[in-house]
């Protein structure tokens, strides 16, 4: 604020000389912002500055406003000068503001690293990029720590929405993939596979499926094991970090795609065409996870043309890809 320091100096004095009073009056006439602050100061009084500490919301908004961001409570914008005066006088609030600003700096540093990584190699954030939250005395900072975490969480949510792949929603399985798959192969090993999938033990299911494929590669229905293995890899491909930064594991998506292709290659009897059409649909999902929209469109068009069970979902994705 223009002339802010000069105004504060005058207001903090108990008795003003005539010269200082005239200076104050001229300042209030010349500077509308100074006049507004003066009125707020008089309205809230010294009690505001000395009798209480700033609330969590006021401290959080102070950080946001000072960083050029919109506060949670917009009415706090006009109170920033008062907050500044209080922080200058109050050792406790001053210490807490330093803590807030450090937390915000951690977020800013994280943002810079995140966008640099995205621009250079488009790799997904790894565990090493997780913000390290400094340890602090719980009895002193418990409340302000929660509020600081709220600021960080909000900031990360914004970053997450910006950096998530443009194909994420289209590639995500959602409720489409029913992992309680039918017992397409009547073997004891396949019963173990079904049980693992029902328990969402995907690692064990993958081991059983790979073993089944290796031991029974010439079986007439082995294509179905490839299909289920593709679905299982798709399930494991979806990743996130604390519910944010949703992404896909490229190796799992690639493994899924190869198994769907193998399904189609092996299923040539004409008896189970529906499995092939579903494999094309999920191959499109895997392609989108790999950001290969061209191949995804080709697979989806086959599903629509042949009127597969996922035809309506395929049309919807195709419309989004236009």
The pLDDT value recorded for residue 112 is: 54
Q: Is the pLDDT of residue 299 over 80?
A: yes
Mean pLDDT of the chain: 74
Give the span between the Cα atoms of 312 and 175, in whole angstroms: 14
C-alpha 321: how far from chain center: 23
Mean pLDDT on 105-125: 54
pLDDT digits (tens, 9 = 90+) for 246-270: 567 889 999 999 999 999 999 998 8
Compute the average pLDDT of residues 100-120. 59
* pLDDT (average), residues 201-220: 91
63-77, 117-131, 167-181: range with lowest mean pLDDT: 117-131
CA distance 128 to 146: 23
Distance of CA 59 to the CA centre of its chain: 24
* Residue 33 clears pLDDT 60, i.e. is over it: yes
Residue 247 host element (H or E): strand 244-248
Residues whose CB falls within 8 Å of the CB of residue 103, separated by 6 or more in sequence, listed in order: 133, 148, 151, 152
pLDDT confidence band for 44 (50 / 70 / 90): low
Mean pLDDT to the nearest integer, 9-22: 75
List domains and CATH numbers for the chain.
4-93 (no CATH), 101-167 (no CATH), 169-321 (1.25.40.10)
Mean pLDDT for 239-250 is 60
DSSP-based helix, strand, coil % in the chain, nearest 5: 70, 5, 25
> How many angstroms separate the CA atoms of 70 and 68, rounded?
7
pLDDT at 124 over 80: no
Q: Between the CA of residue 154 and those of 150, 178, 219, what are the distances in Å? A: 6, 33, 53
What pLDDT is attached to residue 198? 85
Say yes or no to pLDDT of 96 above 70: yes
Residue ranges of alpha helices (H) inside 2-137 are 4-11, 18-30, 32-50, 56-66, 80-89, 91-121
Instruction: Summarize pLDDT for 185-202 with one digit per residue, the tens.
Output: 666 677 888 888 888 898
pTM of the entire predicted model = 0.50
- Report for 34-43, 73-82, 111-120, 276-285: range of highest mean pLDDT: 276-285
């Amino acid at each position: 604020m223009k002339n802010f320091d000069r105004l504060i100096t005058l207001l903090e004095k108990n008795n003003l000389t005539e010269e200082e009073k005239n200076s104050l009056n001229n300042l209030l006439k010349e500077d509308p912002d100074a006049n507004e602050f003066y009125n707020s100061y008089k309205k809230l009084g010294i009690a505001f500055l000395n009798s209480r500490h700033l609330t969590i919301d006021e401290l959080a908004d102070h950080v946001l406003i000072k960083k050029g961001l919109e506060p949670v409570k917009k009415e706090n914008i006009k109170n920033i000068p008062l907050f500044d005066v209080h922080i200058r006088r109050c050792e406790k609030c001053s210490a807490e503001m330093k803590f807030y600003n450090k937390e915000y700096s951690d977020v800013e540093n994280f943002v810079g690293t995140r966008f640099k990584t995205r621009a250079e190699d488009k790799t997904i954030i790894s565990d090493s990029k997780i913000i390290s939250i400094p340890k602090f005395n719980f009895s002193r900072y418990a409340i302000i720590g929660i509020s600081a975490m709220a600021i960080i969480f909000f900031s990360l949510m914004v970053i997450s929405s910006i950096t998530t792949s443009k194909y994420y929603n289209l590639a995500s399985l959602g409720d489409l993939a029913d992992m309680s798959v039918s017992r397409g192969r009547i073997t004891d090993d396949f019963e173990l596979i079904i049980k693992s999938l029902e328990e969402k033990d995907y690692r064990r299911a993958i081991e059983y499926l790979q073993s089944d494929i290796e031991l029974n590669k010439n079986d007439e229905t082995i294509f179905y094991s490839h299909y289920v293995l593709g679905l299982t890899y798709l399930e494991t491909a979806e990743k996130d970090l604390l519910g944010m930064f949703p992404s896909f594991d490229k190796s799992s998506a690639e493994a899924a795609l190869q198994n769907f292709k193998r399904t189609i290659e092996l299923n040539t009897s004409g008896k189970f065409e529906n499995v092939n059409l579903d494999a094309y649909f999920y191959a499109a999902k895997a392609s989108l996870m790999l950001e290969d929209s061209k191949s995804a469109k080709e697979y989806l068009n086959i599903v629509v043309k042949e009127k597969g069970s996922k035809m309506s979902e395929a049309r919807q994705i195709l419309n989004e890809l236009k």
